[in-house]
Chains A and B, each alone.
Chain A
Amino acid sequence: MKAIENWIQKTKPNFEKGGKYEKWLPIYESFETFLHVPGTVTTTGSHVRDAIDLKRALIIVIFALVPTLLYGMYNVGSLFYTSIGEDYTMMEAFGYGFIKVLPLIVVSYIVGLGIEFVFCYIRGHEISEGYLVSGLIIPLIVPVDIPLWELALAVAFAVIIGKEAFGGTGMNIVNPALLARAFLFFAYPGNMSGSSAWVHSVEGKATVDAFSGETILGQLNAGVAPDAIHGVANNQLSVCDLMIGNYAGCVGETSVIAILIGAALLLFTGIASYRIILSVFAGGFVMGLLMNCLAPETNYVMQLPAFQHLLIGGFAFGAVFMATDPVTAAQTNTGKWIYGFLVGVFAIMIRCFNPAYPEGMMLSILLMNVFAPLIDHMVVKANINRRLKRAKAAQETVTNA
């Protein structure tokens, strides 16, 4: 560590104003601050808001994502071996999944960070690591077989249109990771839905007879009763299975347990807002109950028990990792409750009423991202009005007395 510090001390002047490599300062600085907490201090009055800076906060989110990532890798391998009817050990499954998921992560990071570096270089901004988290979330919310060039295109779209157009890290209106997924969903629906998208397949390898690669939401939409939802080998799924997540879906979204481990870390460190997470689940549950009451005989998505709605699809992942994104969520505490609740409500509503969009969580978070500033505005306005009224009442009592 000391050696790195000395090396930085020695090379830094080259990059500062007037130095040889002045132009490369943003990139140099980003690596420097990645290794150390920067030595920069405010020259006027200081405004300490938090002990940790952006980079440290983002690293914790990365740690929180690791359980879902690891389980996702295992799940990819395990589903694949199950689908072709071969026996496998845990390590084999994990190893296979690792090889399949790693390219997604590499492509996502190279394209995303590459674009961010270019924009920071052009604008002379300090490079911030806003993309570190998005770059890991994106591989987790796509099917494993998505072609890499499509993923690269989606990442480029999300970073350029979703983020850089608005001014870079911290200025985006919608969550870039979800924007990438939405882009894929609308641009290449063949790779993002249907029964063949979710489980990795190799040409020439026949699948077992009982194989079914449909996600649970897909099954429900296709007319499978809620008590008959099944995994890839036509095995009945219990609630316990739903918690563990050994069924078809996006890489990182299936395992509720792994997501909850991440959630615990985020809540313990105070990175994610417990208000949002709780209210998303509450909103989803309430809407799920309502749907259960209204469900007609034939609509299996609506009949699905409310608590199971929270376990399937991307609901838990979205609630913990995406709805809580501090940039795009509501900022006020009351606003967070409203925002989260509506995310949950809309997610279930979209699931139930629009079979064309089986995964409502993505669209509902994107929708509420757009409304978050409005919610904040209303909360602040309401607070101002309340205080004005109080002040007026106090004044009246003074004048009356």
Chain B
Amino acid sequence: MAEEKESLFSKKNLQLLTGPLGSQNPITVQVLGICSALAVTAKVESAIVMALAVTIVVGVANMAISLLRKTIPNRIRIIVQLLVVATLVILVDQILKAFSYGVSKQLSVYVGLIITNCIVMGRMEAFGLGNKPWPSLLDGLGNGLGYGMILVIIAVVRELFGAGTITLPIAGELRIIPEAFYTACGYENCGFMLMPPMALIIVAVIIWIQRSRNKDLIKK
């Protein structure tokens, strides 16, 4: 191996981490992981927890697959990937149940469904199987964060306009739109925001804004 030794945070590696936040975003550009974006974004708290869970799972799973990439027979690679992911997800699930039961209840099956999250499988197939462990870890974390970023944006919009509050982990429920607004100005919460279709519409609007700013993303 005559390859040059790359520093841990070379430009190329950093790109792996930051790319998914912008022009490589898993939700808005690759349109993966929509299902959970729709299900867990009614409250900011659950969105943040979900984002963290997915980030950890993708990052670690990607690295694990990358470590194993030379020993996994090609024909059973999906099974191996699933095993790795399932192990991690069960870990996350148990930790959530132990330390944050309320959130775990809210997220219900969606924690378990991280196993089938398209982003997790996609990153392992597309990146982990063909790259070294360190870049794989960065790529996984980057994609998890990119996913989480969109999730939190959607959740903030939905909860703010749907319930007038922002629920953060630890801090709890914060009322953003004051009560006086409801009584004095006749303001009402938008019930539509709390329904799943609105999450899709917000994703669509984010995609729209992103593509009108970055014309390279528009497919010919």
> Taking beta carbons and an 8 Å cutoff, which residues of A are in contact with B?
147, 149-150, 153, 161, 165, 183, 186-191
CB <8 Å contact, A187 and B192: yes
A165 is contacted by which of B188, B192, B208 (Cβ under 8 Å)? B208
> Taking beta carbons and an 8 Å cutoff, which residues of B are in contact with A?
186, 188, 190-193, 195, 201, 204-205, 208
Ordered nearest first, which 8 A-B pairs have the shortest CB separation?
A: A187-B192, A186-B192, A187-B190, A187-B191, A188-B188, A147-B186, A189-B191, A161-B201
Q: Which residues of B contact A161 (CB under 8 A)?
A: 201, 204-205
Q: Which residues of A contact B186 (CB under 8 A)?
A: 147, 149
Q: Which residues of A contact B208 (CB under 8 A)?
A: 165
Q: Which residue of B lies closest to A189 (CB)?
A: B191
How far apart sit A147 and B186, CA to CA, in the bound complex (Å)? 8
A190 is contacted by which of B188, B192, B195, B205 (Cβ under 8 Å)? B188
How far apart sit A178 and B121, CA to CA, in the bound complex (Å)? 40
CB <8 Å contact, A188 and B201: no
CB <8 Å contact, A186 and B201: no
Q: Which residue of A lies closest to B187 (CB)?
A: A149
How far apart sit A153 and B191, CA to CA, in the bound complex (Å)? 13
CB <8 Å contact, A188 and B191: yes
Chain A contact surface mostly: helix
Q: Given A165-B204, A165-B208, A150–B191 Cβ distance below 8 Å?
A: no
Q: Which residues of B contact A188 (CB under 8 A)?
A: 188, 190-191
User: In whole Å, how far is B38's beta carbon from the nearest beta carbon of chain A?
Assistant: 16
| Additional pairs, 13, CB under 8 Å, beyond known A147-B188, A165-B208 | A150-B188, A153-B190, A161-B201, A161-B204, A183-B192, A186-B195, A187-B190, A187-B191, A187-B192, A188-B188, A188-B190, A188-B191, A189-B191
How far apart sit A323 and B205, CA to CA, in the bound complex (Å)? 28
User: In whole Å, how far is B204's beta carbon from the nearest beta carbon of chain A?
Assistant: 7
Q: Which residues of B contact A165 (CB under 8 A)?
A: 204, 208
How far apart sit A238 and B153, CA to CA, in the bound complex (Å)? 54
Please list 24 pairs of residues, one from A and one from B, whose beta carbons are closer than 8 Å in the complex, sorted by A's number: A147-B186, A147-B188, A149-B186, A150-B188, A153-B190, A161-B201, A161-B204, A161-B205, A165-B204, A165-B208, A183-B192, A186-B191, A186-B192, A186-B195, A187-B190, A187-B191, A187-B192, A187-B193, A188-B188, A188-B190, A188-B191, A189-B191, A190-B188, A191-B188
Instruction: Name the residue among A165, A187, A191 with the largest chain B CB count within 10 angstroms.
Output: A187
Q: Which residues of B contact A189 (CB under 8 A)?
A: 191
User: In whole Å, how far is B194's beta carbon from the nearest beta carbon of chain A?
Assistant: 10
Q: Which residue of A lies closest to B205 (CB)?
A: A161
How far apart sit A183 and B191, CA to CA, in the bound complex (Å)? 9
Instruction: Name the residue among B191, B195, B201 with the largest chain A CB count within 10 angstroms.
Output: B191
Q: Which residues of A contact B205 (CB under 8 A)?
A: 161
User: In whole Å, how far is B133's beta carbon from the nearest beta carbon of chain A?
Assistant: 42
Q: Which residue of A lies closest to B208 (CB)?
A: A165
Q: Which residues of A contact B191 (CB under 8 A)?
A: 186-189
How far apart sit A183 and B193, CA to CA, in the bound complex (Å)? 10
Q: Which residues of A contact B204 (CB under 8 A)?
A: 161, 165
How far apart sit A165 and B192, CA to CA, in the bound complex (Å)? 19
Q: Which residue of A lies closest to B161 (CB)?
A: A187
User: In whole Å, how far is B28's beta carbon from the nearest beta carbon of chain A?
Assistant: 15
User: In whole Å, how far is A174's beta carbon from the nearest beta carbon of chain B?
Assistant: 13
How far apart sit A161 and B191, CA to CA, in the bound complex (Å)? 17
Instruction: Name the residue among A149, A161, A183, A186 with the largest chain B CB count within 10 angstroms.
Output: A186
User: In whole Å, how far is B203's beta carbon from the nearest beta carbon of chain A?
Assistant: 12
Q: Which residues of B contact A149 (CB under 8 A)?
A: 186
Q: Which residue of B lies closest to A150 (CB)?
A: B188
How far apart sit A76 and B158, CA to CA, in the bound complex (Å)? 35
User: In whole Å, how far is A208's beta carbon from the nearest beta carbon of chain B?
Assistant: 26
Q: Which residues of A contact B201 (CB under 8 A)?
A: 161
How far apart sit A191 and B191, CA to CA, in the bound complex (Å)? 12
Q: Which residues of B contact A153 (CB under 8 A)?
A: 190
